[in-house]
Amino acid sequence: MDIDMDIDMDRQVITVIDLFSGAGGLSYGFESIDCDIVLAIEKDTWAAKTYKDNHRNKNIIVADISELDDSYFTKYRGQIDVVMGGPPCQGFSIAASNRRKNSDIRNTLYKEFLRVVSIIEPRIVLIENVKEIVNFHLPDQTKILDDIKQFLERHGYTYDHRILNCRNYGIPQDRKRFFLMAIKKSIANKPLNLENLMSDFIKPEITFDEAISDLPMVMARQYPEDYILAYTNEPSNAYQALLRGSCKEVANHIPMQHTNKTVEKFKFLLSKNKHELPEELKPRVRGDSELISEASYGQNHRIIIGSKVSPTITASFYSSFIHSSQPRNITVREAARIQSFPDTFVFKGKKTTLSKKLLERKGIFEDIHLDQFNQVGNAVPPIFAQHLASICMNILLKGK
């Protein structure tokens, strides 16, 4: 995923720490232009396994950042160019608005991020999060964003933040996210405007079908879990060729194990039949298959329009979308394509799991991890991360 840049190839290595790294979308983008990820921290075991198996830099530790004391980070003080990450957003994302609580511990994990920044004093700070972070208040009515700004000002940074839509920058997805970049005033030679800096990377939009149409056609229950498929089509455009690279086979491309009834329901929906679902295809009340459910799940089973960019891939997207032309939900690999992960990037852990509450109730504690769908949806698209890495490199090495 190379990008043409006017950068001295005799440059020094840019050093980076990735906090709350997940599977490593940010790290992958920075690594792709030869930055050195000297440390990544991720609490979840499955996501950390994915990170370690797919990154050139293996310097990831499985840890809760709040349990690492200040002394752990002091050895990096003054040695790091970029500290980056996306503190978990579930506490203030509108995707979980019915469960949101001001007391949610995840709302204060950004303070752990800032604690590490205060110890290391990197030259650049990069934060990614859901766009709703700009309006969220802590219990004392302080805005999270205002608290971050005040911290950056106290520590000698100039900064800018924007809501950027990945669809404008070569990512086949309507994905609006909050990005904040802060630079030490000692190296900033002009006001920072992140949107202007990103203008160098504006690209024509890529549709869902343009992103995934070369992948093999697969049907529910056609292959066993973890089956590796061969490509059956050549890439039909530059994006497909870029993400395939030298890859010879396709991992993470097995659909959900839909029942025959679900497949028939999807076929009915894909046919654009204007009639109401037949009685036999309507959802049933959980625990009583004789009763038709009246519950409405507006985010489930939306057909993706192949000729448009994909809707936002979220952490729990596995039942959200129906493939544009095939009667099934999209696969992990298709979602990874939409997120701009290369086909060589293989996601680890289980494809999907039950909800945390249900797993706890059943006593299945070994599965309380980020499954593959979660890992894909939580990530920063690597190509977008590469754009950010290019900006950081230009600032650090050329003062742009």
Q: Tell me which DSSP letter residue 123 carries.
A: S
Give me the long-range contacts of 349-357 (CB less than 8 A, separation at least 24).
349/45, 349/46, 349/47, 349/49, 349/50, 349/375, 350/46, 351/225, 351/252, 351/254, 351/256, 351/318, 352/256, 352/318
Classify residue 214: in a domain, yes or no.
Answer: yes
Q: Is the domain of 46 the same as that of 156?
A: yes
Domain harbouring 51, CATH code = 3.40.50.150
Classify residue 163: in a domain, yes or no.
Answer: yes
Q: Write down the pLDDT at residue 95.
A: 44
Classify residue 180: in a domain, yes or no.
Answer: yes
Give me the long-range contacts of 99-106 (CB less than 8 A, separation at least 24).
102/137, 102/138, 102/139, 103/139
Q: Is the domain of 167 the same as that of 147?
A: yes
Q: Write down the pLDDT at residue 281.
A: 60
Q: Is the domain of 348 the same as that of 390?
A: no
- For residue 36, the SS3 value is strand
Annotated catalytic residue within 89, 166, 247, 392: 89
Q: Tell me which DSSP letter residue 68 carries.
A: S
Q: Which of 210, 265, 254 is nearest to 228 (CA)?
A: 254
CB 156 within 8 A of CB 124: no
Q: Is the domain of 96 the same as that of 240?
A: no
Q: Is the domain of 218 the same as that of 304?
A: yes
Classify residue 2: in a domain, yes or no.
Answer: no
Tokens of 339: 């997120």
Domain harbouring 318, CATH code = 3.90.120
- For residue 60, the SS3 value is strand
Q: How many separate domains does the chain show?
A: 2
What is the H or E stretch that residue 374 is in? helix 372-378
Q: Is the domain of 224 the same as that of 304?
A: yes
For 123, other C-beta atoms within 10 Å of its C-beta total 22
Residues 371-381: tens digit of each pLDDT: 999 999 999 99
Q: Which of 6, 12, 9, 35 is nearest to 382 (CA)?
A: 35
| Residue ranges, the chain, pLDDT below 50 | 1-11, 93-100, 102, 284-285, 288, 292-293, 296-299, 400
Q: What is the pTM of this model?
A: 0.88
Q: Is the domain of 391 the same as that of 243?
A: no
Classify residue 6: in a domain, yes or no.
Answer: no
CB 384 within 8 A of CB 390: no
Classify residue 247: in a domain, yes or no.
Answer: yes
Q: Is the domain of 230 the same as that of 306?
A: yes
Classify residue 7: in a domain, yes or no.
Answer: no
Torsion angle (degrees, nearest 10) of CA 315, 321, 323, 324? -120
Q: Is the domain of 163 the same as that of 220?
A: no
Q: Is the domain of 57 the same as that of 164?
A: yes
CA distance 155 to 117: 9
Tokens of 300: 């489930």
Classify residue 58: in a domain, yes or no.
Answer: yes
Give Cα separations from 86 to 125, 176, 197 (angstroms): 11, 14, 20
Q: Is the domain of 155 the same as that of 223?
A: no
Domain region containing 285: 208-378
Q: Is the domain of 121 the same as that of 182?
A: yes
Q: Is 89 a catalytic residue?
A: yes
